[in-house]
Structure formats: structure tokens, C-alpha cells
Structure 1
Amino acid sequence: MNLKAIQQLTVVQLCFAISFFTSGIILNIIQGSLYFTLRRFNKYLYRKINYYLAYSFYSQLVFMAEWWSESETAVYIDKTEFEKYYGKEHGLLLMNHSYEIDWLMGWKFCDGIGVLGNCKAFAKKSIQYMPPVGWSWKFGEYVFLERSYDKDKEIILKQLQELGNYPDPIWLLIFPEGTRFSPEKHEASQKFAEKNGLPILKHHLTPRTKGFTTSLMGMKGKINAIYDINIAFNKDDKVAPTMTNLLYGKKVLCHLHIRRIPIEDVPETEAEASKWLHDLYIVKDKMQESFLKTGDFFTTSGVKRIQPFELPRRMYSFVNTIFWNIIILVPALRYILGLLFSGELLYFSIAIGICSAFYIMLKLLIGMSQISKASSYGTEKKKA
């Protein structure tokens, strides 16, 4: 049996689930202990330590993308700016939300520039109650929103001032579209844009500008730049960009274009900043159109061509994941196998229950990344 066949075995995926979720809970306990003690007296030290705890958790998923599936990322960045700024300053990230694993390929890049442990994002408030991912995000001071602007405005302004005081560079991710792209949401988005006199986009949802303009206010004086990110996968690739395929060890090729925009280039007033964001999405849409038609961001978009490069893989995610597998899987498998072969129906049932619970958690994790059709995008209550 070759390696690819082994990677697709259910028992192998179950081992990943046991290691990932158990290590996550262990790290959550450490994070929580420090969050409610050390953080009260020394935020600086807490955030320094939590960087490594968060990294130890997140990098296991990076391992799956980078080492397990050997997926690659063609990075399109101005080399001069890359060497001068990337990973050396706080950044506000604007990224399209079109694929199941766009966030993970973004994490893969963040690991390459040394900011993975300080990656933050806007997330639904309910996620913070879901261990171990939500708990890790809670202790990592993510921005949790209720999807009501009147309530969220104060949360954004307060939380972003906190994040701006981090001792090391943070990258804060915003999906201005508010939800992942799907044909149903796109149709609603186009109707909404037409009704409100906004640009009609072919490959993106109309961005919701209030969260963006409020974020600018919250990070005022704290950030130097916005990073505009475009992620694309070739539509003719044999392997679809999904979590399941990465878990099966199937390789994908991601194309990642990032442009650094100095914060002084963004208008300060809410109305002008909103228009700036809509104009930015017109360019993003042209780039996506060009890529889908030609397999290249630049051919028909009018954007200046940049030659891609690949960041070298770092060993940290590999070593970290192997460490957790040894620490957790050796005793866990011994215990589960002991129950399975004990000859007692009760113990056998307990073992099956444990395995089923971990497998269900893995499926739920994958489900969180899959495209949801439940969004109310474009309804009358939602305003750009």
C-alpha cells in the first residue's frame, strides 16, 4: 500500500482528529488559565506566551496543507515591499471569500512570514463557545460580532484598540463580503447592488462597508497598511480546493496575490472610504475574471504583472505536529485498542463511542469551512 492510499484511510484521519482536538483542549486549558490570571496583570507577557500556544494549535492545520498534502502557493508580491514590510508591522487584511480553504492557504502564507500565532479575524459570536477552535480564538482576542452593526460598532472600536497594542505584528483579517461566495448569495448581491446604485460584481459579493470603515477608525494610529489579498485556484485543476481533499493528502495549487496599500492612501471620511472599498472590489473582480478566463491575474485585468515565487516550507509546523502525535496518539491508541480487545461489550462500546465522537468533531470542523447557503445576504435589513 502506497502513501497516498494510507492517507485516505479512515483510521488515519481518525488519528489526526484525536491528536488535533485533544491537543487543542490541552492548549485551551493553558490559554484559559493564563487568560484569567496572567492577562489581568501583564497583557504584554500574556500575549507573548499566547502567540506560541496559538501557533502550536493552528500550525497543525498548516501541516496538513503544507506537509501532508504538499500543497503549493504561488505568491505574487512586490519583492522589495515583501522584504521591507511583510511580517514586520500590524496589517488589516482584505480578502475574497470564495473557496473552502482560502483562509487556510492564508494561514500557510502567514506561517511563512512568522505571524501565524498572531493571526486574528472577525468571527460570529457563537463560535467562541465551540472548543477547541472557538476557545482558542477567544483567548487569542479575536473580534466576535453579533451581526448587528449598532451592537458591533462599540465591540470593533474597543477590541481593535486592544489589538493595536500587541507587542508583535498582528494580521487582522476582514472578509468585507460578510460571507462565503455562492451562486445564491451572488444573485442576491447583484440585486442588492443594482437597487442601491453600487458596482455590480461578477465574481464577488458586494462588500459591506460599515465594518471596514469602523475598523479603520478602531485601528487609527495603530496600523501602517492595508493588505489587499486575492486568492484563486485554477478551475481546471483535477483536485478541488477542499478540506477533505487536503485531509486525503491531495495536493492543490493556490495563487495568492497580495498588494500592500499604505494607510494614508485610504480616505478618512466614512463616505469616501466606502467608495474606496467599492472601487477596490472592482479591481479585485477584474483580477478574478482574468484568472478564471486565462489562469492569470494580469492578462485582462490591467493590473501590473508580478512574477510569482514560492515561500520555502518551515520545519516548525512539521515538528510541532509530530510532537503532538507522539504525546497524544501513543497513549490514546493504546487505551482505545485495550478497550476494543478487552472482550467486554461495555468496553468495546466505549471505544467505539470515543472514536465516533472524534470523527464527528472532524466532520464538524470540515463543515465549518464548507460553503453555507444559510446566509441572508442582500436582504432589506443588510446595508452596504
Structure 2
Amino acid sequence: MLHGFPPLFRGILASLLLALNTLFWCWPLFFFAVLKLILPFAPMQRSLRFAMHWIAESWISVNSFWMRLVQPIKWDVKGLEKLDMTHSWLVTSNHQSWVDILVLQYQFNRRLPFLKFFLKKELIWVPVIGLCWWALEFPFMKRYSKAYLEKHPEKQGQDLATTRKACERYKTNPVSVFNFLEGTRFTPEKHDQQNSPFTHLLKPKAGGIAFVLDAMGEQLHGLVNVTLHYPEGRPKLWDLLSGQIKHIVMRVKVVPIPKQFIGQSYDQDMAYRAEFQEWVNQLWLEKDQQHPLAAFLPP
């Protein structure tokens, strides 16, 4: 353990390990991605996806190693016992920090199928890791404003088409499709701008997971609803790298997906849309009531 060393030393070491870990695993990942492009046979595609997911899980395992190396984090985690690797899941969480992604990967690695995040299309240009996301078939989304769609109605429904195309590829292997419902990280300023009805959360955006349920709802075993809390305040990525996060609280709840929400059209059925948004808002209300820290910890 390196927690006795200065944070700057730990941060530099962890950053180096993260970079080397990524560069080490990206090359076999790219090799299998090329094979998957030139061998379009279903059994081969399935085997190559398993191999690529194993590579991604190994990358996460090394990241978990350096997280333990720089600081022994006190984990307060409940609700993992109902998870398994044999089913496909829809996963969501509140969004506090960039640290959230590494925290979720740490706890879910080899407890759930590999997490596939919805990403902004522009992120494909991130050096190295953008190509890794592409190779692992992360869904890249192009978001359009309401004003843009009014001028270009032909773009309406393109997000749904992208989601369906991505989810079609997920039918051969178990997968965990992840979406931050809030769409952005929580800050007091964003909370005030939204006039959010929730005390500790931003407003959820139901469209993303509604599209997933439309595209692959019958494959999904349930919704994994995660609540994250950092008792020492919302951390930055550097805080994790430099070993300055000492306590993380995580609650995991498996929620059945109502059958009436599977295979419906969120864009065209306004009654379904209203009912689905109400269900998501209720999930968020329950999550909001788990704050503050006293709600997580035993008396």
C-alpha cells in the first residue's frame, strides 16, 4: 500500500499505471476488432465478443489494483447479491463525478456482464480510448436540440435507430446497457438551473432507457438502479488517482421492468410516454430519499 506517500507521487504513479494498462490491452482489443470485421459469421462474432469483453474486464481488474494500491477505500456497498453474469441488464445511476465510472466498474466487474455506456458521438475521437469504445460496440449517440429538429424533421428518431442498431449486436452475448439518467454530473448550479424537484438529484431523462426497452426489452432481466454517495464530497478524477478518496457508499437495487413498458414507442405513444416518465420519476424520488449520508449508514 502506498497511502503513506504524498498524494502527488500516488497520483503520478496511478496515472502512469492507467496509461500503461490502457496501451497494453488496446492492441489485442484492436486485433480482435479487425477479426470481427473480416469474419462476419455469427458463431465467430459471438466468440470474438467474449474475448473482447474478457480483455475489457482484465483492463478493469488492473485499474482496481492501482485503486487499492494508492488508498485502501472504505466501501459501504449493499445489494450486489442479486446480480449475475448470465443475464442482460439495464443499469442506471445518479451521476456525481467522472469517478463514478471507475467506481461502477470496480464493483460490477465480473459480477455483471461488461457495462456498455451511451456516449456522445464526439467522444469517438478521444485518443486510444475512443477506438476502444468503438471496438467494444459502445453506442455513440448524436443529440439534437428541439430547435434543430424543428428545422430538420428528417433527423427525428435517429437516436432510436442508433440504439436499435447497437442493441441488435447485444443479442448474442449477455450485456449490461448503462445510462446516466441525469445526462450530466450533478452540481448545485445545474440543480438550480433545472429547478429540480429533487433535493439531491437532477431531473432524470427517460428517453434513453425507453429506447433500450423498445429495442431489447425482452432480453433484459431487470433494471439495476444504483445510488452513489461520496461522504467527503463530490471527488475529481485526480482525487481518485492520488488516493484522496477514503470512503464510498453504494446502494444497488434490482427493479423489475414493468411488462407494459417493453416494445412500446416512446416517440409516438404519448400516453405511454407520460406513464413511463412517471415510473422513472418515482424511481428517482425513492433514490432522492436515500440521501443524506445518515440514510446510508447504520445508526
Band the TM-score falls in, shorter-chain normalisation: 0.7 to 0.9
Change (3 A) 1:150 1:264: closer
Change (3 A) 1:16 1:203: same
Partner of 1:308: none
Asked if the contact 1:24/1:57 (under 8 Å) is kept, the reply is yes
1:209 to 198, 206, 219: 206
Distance 1:28 1:214 in 2: 28
Distance 1:113 1:92 in 2: 14
Give 2:139's aligned amino acid: V
Give 1:195-274 correspondences, 5 Å limit: 200-235=197-232, 241-264=235-258, 267-268=261-262, 269-274=272-277
Q: Structure 1: 5+ residue runs without aligned partners?
A: 194-199, 300-304, 306-384
Partner of 2:84: 86
Change (3 A) 1:220 1:90: same
Change (3 A) 1:180 1:68: same
Post-superposition Cα deviations, 1:320-359, rounded to whole Å, max 9, x if no partner, equal xxxxxxxxxxxxxxxxxxxxxxxxxxxxxxxxxxxxxxxx
Partner of 1:297: 296
Change (3 A) 1:246 1:98: closer
Q: How far 1:212 moved relative to its partner? A: 2.1
**SS state of the match for residue 159, structure 2?**
helix
Q: Structure 2: 5+ residue runs without aligned partners?
A: 145-155, 263-271
Partner of 1:26: 27
Partner of 2:8: 8
> Which 4+ residue blocks in structure 1 deviate beyond 6 angstroms?
none
Distance 1:244 1:99 in 2: 11
**SS state of the match for residue 263, structure 1?**
coil
Q: How far 1:70 moved relative to its partner? A: 2.5
Distance 1:286 1:225 in 2: 22
TM-score normalised by L of structure 2? 0.81
Asked if the contact 2:120/2:142 (under 8 Å) is kept, the reply is yes
Distance 1:273 1:60 in 2: 39
Partner of 2:151: none
1:175 to 176, 180, 186: 180
Change (3 A) 1:114 1:209: closer
**Total equivalences in the alignment:** 276
Q: How far 1:87 moved relative to its partner? A: 3.0
Partner of 1:143: 139
Partner of 1:166: 172
Partner of 1:342: none
Post-superposition Cα deviations, 1:261-298, rounded to whole Å, max 9, x if no partner, equal 1123674533211110011111111112x32xx2x338
Post-superposition Cα deviations, 1:200-251, rounded to whole Å, max 9, x if no partner, equal 1121111112222112111221112001110111147xxx633212322334
**SS state of the match for residue 36, structure 1?**
helix
Partner of 1:196: none
Q: How far 1:133 moved relative to its partner? A: 1.5
Give 1:41-190 correspondences, 5 Å limit: 42-77=44-79, 82=81, 85-111=83-109, 113=111, 115=113, 118-148=114-144, 150-163=157-170, 165-167=171-173, 169-190=174-195
Asked if the contact 1:66/1:72 (under 8 Å) is kept, the reply is no
Identity over aligned residues, as a percent?
20
Give 2:287's aligned amino acid: K
Partner of 1:283: 286
Most deviating of 16-25 and 150-159: 16-25
Post-superposition Cα deviations, 1:76-126, rounded to whole Å, max 9, x if no partner, equal 11x7xx25x4333211011000123112111111125263xx211101111
Distance 1:298 1:249 in 2: 23
TM-score normalised by L of structure 1? 0.64
Change (3 A) 1:252 1:171: farther
